[in-house]
Amino acid sequence: MDKNHWEIIIIGGGLAGLIAAHQLSKAGKDVLLIEKKQYPFHRVCGEYISNEVRDFLIKENLYPSDIEPAEITKFRLTSVTGRPAEMDLDLGGFGVSRYYLDEFLYNKACSIGTTFLLQTQAEDVSFISQEDIFEVKLQGGDIIYGKHVLGAFGKRSKIDKQFQRDFMKTKSPFIGVKYHVRVEYPQDMVALHNFEGGYCGINRIEEGKFNLCYLGSREQLRAFGNIPEMERQVLHKNPHLKAIFENSDFLFDKPEVINEINFSPKNPVENHVLMIGDAAGLITPLCGNGMAIAIHTGKLAADNILQSRDRLSIEKKYSQLWNNHFKKRLWIGRKVQWLFGSQMVSSLSVNLMRHSEFVAGKIMENTHGTRVT
């Protein structure tokens, strides 16, 4: 990096940050993206993308067709005791690993002019109102400046703490755990299996592999001492999960794990920073739309910077569009989450899906968006 002034600085190189970087660079903007890791790398993620963003990705040549992502058209739900229900997905989607997709989008953004600063963290972001510019302090002490800053730093970060965002003030009871496995399982299905205290999703990704990812309880992990023992004592009580765990070829040396997953509401703009992806709001994993929402928010932020002339109109328009597209979906996701993770309510949710297709379809409809172009 040979300069310290940029038109746009994006902090975080997940889906939202990469999409925004690509779209802004494509329009001729001077973009720097800061990512604390080096591509490619694994992330704890469901690795299912709703088709709501497929048309957009294809139009922008950002759909990873070379690896033939898994086509997902069906949904299976099981209760804690293993009682199943199935239904067709309204839009459907595709499965692809973040390990592959993030690097694919990184290369696309590089090829169109985005500058990347990898293996570096942004530690402090300040808006200097007199100069209408951001000052960003980097790990190691360097300081850079940007006309606009997009916050794509995921579920929680040092910047969230610096901004004293409300969700940082409370502890979350959830942990996320992810594996890649090879297993005999339906190729066109995303399944959600309940266990006491959480739920586990599985779907096919590229190269015949499956993503196995669950939202569990921090208290249970503490009680059983380690992840394998918690899985044996808790997850395996669902016979479907027991069969998956006992019959899978696990491809990681150890699972990917994250703590402090918080679904509390967030503001889409903080201290003049446009928040995108999980930094703006995290939908509960059972809704299966986190990746699509991240892609959509990156596009919305880029569009607003390109279409609006002044900072106030960019912030106002982005907040309005974010709320219109996502606020209700995230709220419904938080409410629907109460139907999962315990024997009684998971049985109720399975019964609802089996006997009231209309209601189940409405829940699905209201946690999914419309197609993005």
Per-residue pLDDT of 278-303, as tens digits, reads 999 877 665 568 899 999 999 999 99
Q: What angle do CA 268, 33, 142 make, to 5 degrees?
A: 105
* Beta pairing partners, 36: none
Selected residue with higher pLDDT from 349 and 250:
250
pLDDT surpassing 90 at residue 93 = yes
29 has a pLDDT exceeding 90: yes
Number of helical (H) and strand (E) elements in the chain, helices listed first: 12, 17
Q: Where are the alpha helices (DSSP H) in the chain?
A: 15-26, 54-59, 98-111, 158-162, 218-224, 227-233, 239-247, 290-307, 311-322, 328-336, 343-355, 357-367
**pLDDT of amino acid 167:** 86
Cross-strand partners of 118: 35
Average pLDDT over residues 319-335: 85
State the average pLDDT over residues 65-76: 93
User: Residue 307: its pLDDT value, please?
Assistant: 93
Between 87 and 38, residue with greater pLDDT: 38
CB 78 within 8 A of CB 193: yes
DSSP letter, residue 209: -
Local confidence band at 37 (pLDDT 50, 70, 90 cut-offs): very high
Q: 265 pLDDT band (50/70/90 cuts)?
A: confident
Stretch 226-241: mean pLDDT, rounded?
97
Buried b (16+ CB within 10 A) or exposed e, 193-203: bbbbbbbbbbb
Residue 144 has pLDDT above 90, yes or no: yes
pLDDT > 70 fraction of the chain, expressed in percent and rounded: 89
According to the model, what pLDDT value does residue 332 have? 75
Q: Is 365 left (phi over 0), alpha (psi -120 to 50) or beta?
A: alpha
The band of 343, judged by pLDDT with boundaries at 50, 70 and 90, is low
DSSP for 61-105 reads T-S-GGG-PEEEEEEEEE-TT--EEEEEEEEEEEE--HHHHHHHH
Q: Mean pLDDT in the chain?
A: 90
What would the mean pLDDT of 218-243 be, rounded to a whole number? 96
For 347-372, how does the pLDDT look when each residue is reduced to its tens digit (9 = 90+)?
Answer: 656 666 665 665 555 555 555 567 78
Instruction: Find the mean pLDDT for residues 124-142.
Output: 95
Q: What is the predicted pLDDT for the residue at 330?
A: 81
pLDDT at residue number 43: 94
| Rounded percentage of the chain residues whose pLDDT exceeds 90 | 70
Task: Give mean pLDDT, residues 230-249.
Answer: 97
Average pLDDT over residues 184-209: 94
Going from the C-alpha of 31 to that of each of 21, 128, 146, 347, the distances in angstroms are 7, 19, 9, 49
CA-wise closest residue to 36 among 144, 121, 103? 121
Q: What is the mean pLDDT of residues 8-34?
A: 98
